[in-house]
Amino acid sequence: MNQDRPTLDELTTQLIEFRDARDWRQFHSLKDLILSLNLEASELLELSQWKPENNFEDEATTEAMNQRLQEECADVLLYLLLIAERAGIDLQRAAANKIIANDLKYPVSKSRGTSAKYTEL
């Protein structure tokens, strides 16, 4: 495994080995994993709470905030990998399919430069 930049499959394998060595699968129902993902996403969101947008963008480049962002993003990703493993989802294929679906919903000719939802275009 390339420790510098492992693939999603390698990360999943490493994460499952970590989980199984601790006998934690018993606590990882699909429902609880989804709930935990949202709790971690909330921790990521909390980093920006009450901060003006421009100030937060600047703060995110500091070593301390960047480290916190990395940790919370990693937590979100790890729970997402556990959810995908539990539900039998190929995340890379699902993401590629979603990009294709979004391309159909949001054609450049109608969507460029606007944040309108596809139902409003």
Predicted pLDDT of residue 65: 97
**Whole-number Å distance between alpha carbons of 100 and 106:** 10
Whether the CB-CB separation of 103 and 88 falls below 8 Å is answered with no
Whether 24 is in a domain gets the answer yes
Whether 61 is in a domain gets the answer yes
Whether 18 is in a domain gets the answer yes
Predicted pLDDT of residue 121: 85
DSSP assignment of 9-72 equals HHHHHHHHHHHHHTT-GGG--HHHHHHHHHHHHHHHHHTTTT--HHHHHHHTTSHHHHHHHHHH
Whether 103 is in a domain gets the answer no
Domain with 25, as residue range(s), is 9-89
CA-based nearest residue to 105, from 121, 93, 94, 92:
121
Number of domains in the chain: 1
Whether 71 is in a domain gets the answer yes
Summarised one tens digit per residue, pLDDT across range 28-84 is 999 999 999 999 999 999 999 999 998 999 999 999 999 999 999 999 999 999 999
Burial bucket for residue 43 (CB in 10 Å: 0-12, 13-18, 19+): middle
Please give the model's pTM, rounded to 2 decimal places. 0.89
Q: What is the CATH number of the domain that holds 45?
A: 1.10.287.1080
Whether 79 is in a domain gets the answer yes
**71: its two tokens:** 């940790």
